[in-house]
Amino acid sequence: MKLTPEQLTVFERDGYLFFPSLFSPAEVEILHAEVPKIYAESRPEIVREKDGVTPRSSFAAHTYNPVYAKLARHPRLVEPVTQVLGEDLYMHQFKINAKEAFDGDVWQWHQDYGTWKRDDDMPEPRAMNIALFLDEVNELNGPLMLIPGSHKQGVQSAGHDVQTTSYPLWTIDNATITRLVAEGGIVAPKGSPGAMLMFHGNLVHGSGSNMSPWRRNIVYLSLCAVSNHIRRFKRPEYIAHRDFTPIRPLPDDCLLRDDIEVELAPSRAA
Amino acid sequence: MKLTPEQLTVFERDGYLFFPSLFSPAEVEILHAEVPKIYAESRPEIVREKDGVTPRSSFAAHTYNPVYAKLARHPRLVEPVTQVLGEDLYMHQFKINAKEAFDGDVWQWHQDYGTWKRDDDMPEPRAMNIALFLDEVNELNGPLMLIPGSHKQGVQSAGHDVQTTSYPLWTIDNATITRLVAEGGIVAPKGSPGAMLMFHGNLVHGSGSNMSPWRRNIVYLSLCAVSNHIRRFKRPEYIAHRDFTPIRPLPDDCLLRDDIEVELAPSRAA
């Protein structure tokens, strides 16, 4: 998978690219079938909503689930980021965000690189997010909202919000959001399961609550240039990884093949 | 203003009608100019969000604000409801819901008639809601969500939610919403200031949070057939009115005219 010069220009300008049908229904089905198993585990990697029950986020499934171990090395996710950053990548963070039907809570406005810099001492915003839709994302189930062009203005000042939701986040104040939205507007890409959204570490984003009866699982890969690895190990290892080994992409049909197996982190296998 | 037979058929089937530009920009401007004054008052009629500051709802402004006193008697709002219910109307409830930028909170799934019956002992669902948009309503600032056809299934069982938001509400359980949405889907009418949405007292509806920098004020009139007036006076008078005098509509251009003045409820004038 290679981005065209036009796609690279759009990415430079807007800070994101959207691929409406990157993975096939058969591939998505394989990924989806693992989600209930992952959320059913009681491990520290699973973050619940404030009610203590509804899954909010599941970290590092690629370290203990064989299917997600393959996804973390998928060429359709790894190669475009390698192309943009121009060097080998390692996995800084890997998570599934649930945004469950009825009870899925908000993610306040934030920049991921803001957190990576403040908490993890990542030197530069040479890291990228990949969001892979496992469910249909529509206007009513809490789609990701992006402020186009906001990645060009560096790291915004932010406050550490430990109250609004069950997951602590460096969030951006209302005056800054108002200014950025006046310049760039807000987009909320909608799409079918299998769609992929790639966005810059400094792109300001968030998502609303989900009151609909439709769950909205998204897998997030945060891929970082190896030379740009984090320097501080303050957060748990399953949230900010410390293994900087370059990712070697698997074959394009890896999810559909039984003969490809990835060695799991030995201490973390289920 | 007279509904066509086609509009009446659609209303019967879906439980709502949407009029994208019922009021002119000049009329909306006059209405809008009063909103900050109303929210600035500290009266029991103003309900704040859980933060205690952000306005959530302002009740009964038509009893003390001269502009809203006219709006409460506007023929474009009163006449279509009179036509559907076939008799004179009184004002059961009148409110402005703010859904402020950034901090506007959810309204859980509910039926208004469920509350009117349980709390106010209104005999039949012979009352109708009118929602008049004062701001643009888009997919990102917490639009009203409706379940088409849900008005045909009577009053759903409901629990009294006094926790989720600062305003107590009889809300419908997730299993019921899932079933109703499977049958009717969800619509979220979007539109410019001046748009109007008319919906049945039994239509199931709700709205999400507003994380955008765009406020979203909507005026709600709940118009009830006079013969169907409430029997129990449990809630404050400014929430469930006890004046069953039939509303006499004013001229169509009343908002733009200075020579029309409505007598305010004497005890409530500012």
Q: Minimal Cα distance from B101: which residue of A?
A: A174
Low-confidence winner among A46-50, A203-207, B7-11, B184-188 (lowest mean pLDDT): A46-50
Predicted confidence at residue A268, as pLDDT, reads 52
Residue B37's SS3 state is helix
Query: Distance, in angstroms, between B105 CA and closest chain A CA?
Result: 10
Kindly list the residues of chain B whose beta carbon comes within 8 Å of any beta carbon in chain A: 101-102, 106, 108-109, 139-140, 142, 145, 174, 177-178, 181-182, 186, 188, 206-213
In the predicted model, is pLDDT for residue A222 greater than 70? yes
Residues from chain A contacting residue B102 (CB–CB below 8 Å): 174, 177
Tell me: the pLDDT tens digits for B134-183? 999 999 999 999 999 999 999 999 999 888 888 888 999 999 999 999 99
Report chain B residues whose CB lies below 8 A from the CB of A206.
211
Q: How far apart are CA B147 and CA B169, in angstroms?
A: 18
What pLDDT does B266 receive?
A: 57
Confidence of residue A212 (pLDDT cuts 50, 70, 90): very high
pLDDT of residue B50: 87
Site of tokens 């089905």: A29
pLDDT for residue A166 is more than 90:
no
Query: Looking at residues B13-28, what average pLDDT do you find?
Result: 98
Q: What residues pair up with A208 in beta bridges, in sequence order?
A: none
Residues facing A128 on adjacent strands? A200, A223
Beta bridge partners of B207: B107, B144
Highest mean pLDDT among A258-262, B100-104, B241-245: B241-245
In Å, how far is B260's CA from the nearest CA of chain A? 39
Residue A60 backbone zone (phi > 0: left; psi -120 to 50: alpha; other: beta): left
- The three-class DSSP label of residue B132 is strand
DSSP designation for A41: S
Mean pLDDT over B109-124 rounds to 96
Q: Which residues of B touch A178 (CB under 8 A)?
A: 101, 213
DSSP B142-176: --EEE-TTGGGG-PPP-EEE-SSSSS-EEE--HHH
- Confidence label for B270 from pLDDT (cuts 50, 70 and 90): very low
Closest CA to B210 of B140, B109, B111: B140
Looking at per-residue pLDDT, the higher value among A151 and B50 belongs to A151
The stretch A4-8 carries a mean pLDDT of 97
β B196-200/A169-171 pair status? unpaired
pLDDT single digits (tens) A10-37: 999 999 999 999 999 999 999 999 999 9
Mean pLDDT score across all residues of chain B: 95
**pLDDT for A269 beyond 60:** no
Residue A50: its pLDDT value, please?
87
Residue B244 has pLDDT above 50, yes or no: yes
The number of C-alpha atoms within 13 Å of B98 and in the hemisphere containing its C-beta is: 23
Q: Is there a contact between A41 and A65 (Cβ–Cβ < 8 Å)? A: no
**Whether residue B112 has pLDDT greater than 50:** yes
Q: Classify burial at B35, counting beta carbons within 10 Å of its beta carbon; exposed 0-12, middle 13-18, buried 19 or more.
A: buried
Contacts of B207 in chain A (CB under 8 A): 211
Residues A102, B177: C-beta atoms closer than 8 Å: yes
Q: What is the nearest CA distance from A209 to chain B, expressed in angstroms? A: 6
Q: And the tokens for B126?
A: 């012979």
Verify whether the Cβ–Cβ distance A212 to B106 is below 8 Å: no
Give the range among A40-44, A183-187, B34-38 with minimum mean pLDDT: A40-44
Indicate yes or no: CB of A208 within 8 angstroms of CB of B211.
yes
Q: Are the Cβ atoms of B106 and A177 closer than 8 angstroms? A: no
Predicted ipTM? Answer: 0.88
Rounded Cα distance, A194 and A134, in Å: 6
Q: Which of B103, B99, B76 is nearest to B195 (CA)?
A: B76
Smallest Cα distance from A139 to chain B, Å: 6
If pLDDT is split at 50, 70 and 90, which confidence band does B269 have? Answer: very low
Give CA angle at B270 (B119, B52), nearest 5°: 55
> Average pLDDT in the A90-109 region?
93
Task: Please say if the pLDDT value at position A62 is more than 90.
Answer: yes
* Contact (CB, 8 A) for B20 and B47: no
- The predicted pLDDT at position B66 comes to 96
